[in-house]
Structure 1
Amino acid sequence: MAWAVLLAGLTWFSTRNDPPTVREQRTLAEAGPVVDGAIGELVAAASDAVLALAPPEIDRGCRITPFADGATLSREVELAVPGGEERAVLERVAGRLPATWRAGVRVTTDGPRLRADAGEFVVVRGRPVADGRIRLTVDTGCRLVGGGYVRPGPGAAGAEAGVLAEALRTLGGSAAGAETAVTAPCPGGGLARTAWSGVGEPTVSPQAALAPLAGGAPVVETPEVYAFRRDGVALLADLHPDGIRVAATSGCTR
């Protein structure tokens, strides 16, 4: 009887005080702020690149156990960098991340790969997805949903809104869908904010139209991408024959 009472007491104490030992002991609701904070760290680490925050994605349908459903939360940061510098940029980003993340870059047969541990079983990965394009991903893995993920609010518009509006006017196309804002908390306070909008088929050459805004010195200029920095704002335009997606981002600094 004494042993049973002691075991029950230790179990109660451990449940309330010990840190989690497996991913499934933290719900999606608990992991959400870790993911958002990790995105802010990545934005700060990649502050000298042209970047854009993608909207959070929740993938439901995974299973924690045969009797319990779960969901995965992932967030991404897209980087546009000069072609051939993808590995150097990944290594620079890894070197600027918190030491506790143990971030590193290894070269595989598929190219350089960044990997880090943001804590609470949240994984950070980075890889080139095309010439001059890098994708940084923060992923929770399958979790119990709990109270659910609460997406950060859009925050107040900053300099990115003006740069985006100027780019849209310059392109001369009709707006294709409402402007959307995505945010993440910066490590030193404040918010990183990406405002993006679609543009219908432009009336002029996108590269020629955007060149004056870039001061004639874009960071990336290809048939698919035009990217530059203006007044501390990163502008990334994905160019397609049937329309353009333009994202303007006010980032974080260290």
Structure 2
Amino acid sequence: MSGAVSTGWAPPSGPGEPPGPTRGWARWLPALTVVWAVLLGVLVWVSVRDDPPTVREQRDLAQAGPVVDRAVGELLAAVGDAGAVALAPARVTPGCRITPMEDGAALERAVAVEFAGDDVRGLLERVAARLPGDWRAGVRVTGEGARLWGDAGGFVAVRGRPAGPGRVLLTADTGCRPVGAGYRPPTASAGPEGAALADALRALGLPAAPRPELTAAPCPAGEGTNTRTVRATGPAPATLAALAPLAGDSTVRDTPEVYAWRSGAVSVVVERAGDEVRLAASTGCPA
């Protein structure tokens, strides 16, 4: 008997197949998706509220600024009486990229140290040894000379490098961060460094600075203790020799371009820059 099927003949149709189990679940998928999205959102909110930042991009300048300020105080305390110090004004550099779609800014604070001699590595090793142990600070000798490296926490890097004859620059910086509410530098009132600045201006025959620029940072010794630098500028005199009686036996550097001394906790650095003279008087942090 042949198994061929005649043209136009349709096989008999039976009852349809019952719906499979996957068809019932399909009705619940939209609701389950919504529940999962809500749960995920709650978990993210709790994590952001309660967990510490795990990457640098989660801590903005307003949050990272105090870490940088405290790091500067630690650096000043670590320098101690090894040289004459001056705080540089904080520098916020905008325009960096956190992601391809988000701009940010970087904060850097610096401490300039004038010291006698040229043993940069020795000075940096002294500073590294006096910094907090959890910073894991150390000194490496690179092709560009000795370099200090450390981690102040909160994704704030600490560095140290030579910045000219008899000068070292110590820095604390955030790298690129969200701006957030922005960085607000610490404020303080001038102390003995203000009188030292006035004396230096007077010795050079320059008028008193009515409102000298003041920069401050908290010292690690305790709340309410600050390191401060006051700055002033004026026309450059022919020589800086008139500063010698003020410095006495506490001179740190004496060159035609830079005169620096340290008397107790107060440092004074005077630098000629073309037709201008720049003065900075500072009170450091206790070691």
Matched, 1:145 2:179: yes
Contact 1:177 1:198 survives alignment (8 Å): no
* Range moving further from structure 2, 7-16 or 239-248: 7-16
Distance, in Å, in 1 between the alignment partners of 2:209 and 2:228 is 20
The equivalent residue for 1:37 is 70
CA distance in 2, matches of 1:186, 1:152: 11
Q: Percent identity at matched positions?
A: 54
The CA deviation at 1:31 is 0.4
Answer whether contact 2:236 2:272 (CA < 8 A) is retained. Answer: no
Hey, what does 1:235 align to over in structure 2?
Answer: 268
Residue aligning to 1:27: 60
Q: Please, what is the CA RMSD of the aligned residues?
A: 2.0
Query: Shift in Å at residue 18 of structure 1?
Result: 2.2
Measure the CA separation in 1 of the matches of 2:263 and 2:234: 20
How far did residue 188 of structure 1 move? 1.3
2:285 counterpart residue number: 252
Pairwise CA distance, 1:112: 0.3
Separation in structure 1 between the aligned mates of residue 203 and residue 284 of structure 2, nearest angstrom: 23
- Say whether the 8 Å CA contact 1:29–1:150 is kept in structure 2: yes
Tell me if 1:119 matches 2:159. Answer: no
Report the counterpart of residue 135 of structure 1 in structure 2: 169
Give me the whole-angstrom Cα distance separating, in 1, the residues matched to 2:84 and 2:189. Answer: 21
- Tell me which residue corresponds to 1:195: 230
Once the two structures are superposed, what CA deviation does each residue of 1:183-220 show, in whole Å capped at 9, x if it has no partner? 00011131100011112122x521x2111111145111
Q: Confirm or deny: 8 A CA contact 1:56 1:76 kept in the other structure.
A: yes
Letter in 2 for 1:17: D
> What residue in structure 1 maps to residue 130 of structure 2?
96
Counterpart amino acid of 2:89? P
Stretches of structure 1 that go unaligned for 5 or more consecutive residues are none
Runs of 5+ unmatched residues, structure 2: 1-31
SS at match of 2:251: coil
Is the contact between residue 124 and residue 148 of structure 2 (CA under 8 Å) also seen in structure 1? yes
In 2, distance between residues paired with 1:85 and 1:104? Answer: 16
Residue 164 of structure 1, aligned match among 197, 201, 226: 197
Among 122, 130, 144, the residue aligned to 1:110:
144
Q: Normalising to structure 1: TM-score of the pair? A: 0.92
Match of 2:6 in 1: none
Task: Give me the whole-angstrom Cα distance separating, in 2, the residues matched to 1:87 and 1:125.
Answer: 13
Task: State how many pairs are aligned.
Answer: 251
Comparing 209-218 with 118-127, greater Cα deviation is found at 209-218
